[in-house]
Structure 1
């Protein structure tokens, strides 16, 4: 365990992934996936406290972030493979995935590819991977020492500009009950995209916490926590 309280695993592909762990030894594991530029520390707060009594809870540092490896390759398929490798390394057959923004994209692509390994799926302010009306410009790195590998942003932008059509078409392959949480007013993401995604996912619904913006779990932590807990405990 590092000085920051993280543990590490190494996937079969050789990528070292850092994570934090809390909670019960039994119950369905919950894996938390952060947004672009953050790491697993972003999840500390009431959500973990609420889940840890009934679930083992893991907050992963995605590749290129935090204390995980920064290998320079950041295709979405790499992140999906890392998540599979992480679950395999910990012996987790099925998990609840909770993802925010970029992390939610990784979560739902994993759920498309490995539907049998996802118990439930929570997508906070997720992005619909369809061709944009106007291509996004490749961002320039900010000055100073980066907190994460800026190449993740560059490669993510390229993939958003030219998404694989299968990423949208295969939403129908997700079998897990899915909750899409939108921040409503103040979010930079088109909220109608969440409804469009929910229409394609067989067992999905949208919950809007209006006024929360893009950072729902930070701006409205108690409302977000209640929404997730209620979703995980319903029959």
Structure 2
């Protein structure tokens, strides 16, 4: 008899209350989903993709400071990495595949490096591996959208290796020129219908206590240099129409991990919104590799 789980948990970790949902067959392959952000949640991914992934034992965990996970104090990326291990320990799950989307790649890469024995795979979906690189991308696109082309930073391929750009300054400049939501919407959603679908899902999310707790040093975070030291089998899944990552973040990541597998699909930052069938098929193919090795 197959036992199907659908259980919410509140896990206490230091000064945080972590909200987690464990969903799927008890004997299914565990998959830990690391959502983007920082400050977002796992609700929309389960809401929109949960049925497609019901053969796996899915771990939907809201990161501290976002969604239904609560903390009063500011925190670091190391806290977020440790939270992953605390959740796995609390659920008594020894190993899991790790799916990291967007900003979640900053946590996923560090977790895989710190505890390779805990993860069967690291699947990076449209990863923000370098926040300084993302800040430059935002500055360039904001300059274009706002008519400040003469102030746009040079493209990455011609940017000097010795050039130093303050990521906070670049991001602030971008957000002064273009409203942050408008800027991210322009880069992440090639199809307005996909944006509306995500916004509708977000509107149904139940959020926990909202505080002013923040992640320290968001725009300085860079996981590129640690990629080459990761031993966990790593896969890149990128979207051609996600202008936050294509091509710069993917190219930078593959330079560090040239032997990793990479697949490109159409769509934006949330590829399951644009072509869920192709996304699920590709994701399942990647996940099947862990059972063959």
- Which residue matches 2:288? 233
Tell me how far 1:14 sits from its aligned partner.
4.3
1:19–1:150 distance in 2 versus 1, CA, 3 Å: same
TM-score normalized with structure 1 length: 0.80
CA distance in 2, matches of 1:182, 1:150: 32
Q: Deviations over 1:69-88 (max 9, x none)?
A: 13332311111011111111
Which among 211, 229, 240 is matched to residue 173 of structure 1? Answer: 229
Note the 1:55-204 alignment, pairs <5 A. 55-129=56-130, 131-132=132-133, 133=136, 134=165, 135=167, 136-137=171-172, 151-152=213-214, 155=215, 158-160=217-219, 162-163=220-221, 167-201=223-257, 203-204=259-260
1:66–1:73 distance in 2 versus 1, CA, 3 Å: same
Tell me how far 1:216 sits from its aligned partner.
1.5
Question: What is the aligned residue count?
Answer: 219
1:177–1:202 distance in 2 versus 1, CA, 3 Å: farther
Tell me how far 1:228 sits from its aligned partner.
1.0
Deviating 4+ runs (over 6 angstroms): 138-142
Check the 8 A contact 1:46/1:225 in 2, yes or no: no
Check the 8 A contact 1:112/1:170 in 2, yes or no: yes
Check the 8 A contact 2:105/2:129 in 1, yes or no: no
3-state SS, counterpart of residue 98 of structure 2: strand
CA distance in 1, matches of 2:132, 2:180: 24
Report which of the two has the higher share of helix: 2
TM-score normalized with structure 2 length: 0.66
Q: Deviations over 1:32-62 (max 9, x none)?
A: 1111143121112564333332x31111111
CA distance in 2, matches of 1:182, 1:149: 33
3-state SS, counterpart of residue 173 of structure 1: coil
Q: CA RMSD in A?
A: 2.8
1:192–1:58 distance in 2 versus 1, CA, 3 Å: same
1:225–1:45 distance in 2 versus 1, CA, 3 Å: farther
3-state SS, counterpart of residue 26 of structure 2: coil
**Runs of 5+ in structure 2 lacking a partner?**
1-6, 137-164, 182-206
Tell me how far 1:190 sits from its aligned partner.
3.7
3-state SS, counterpart of residue 188 of structure 1: coil
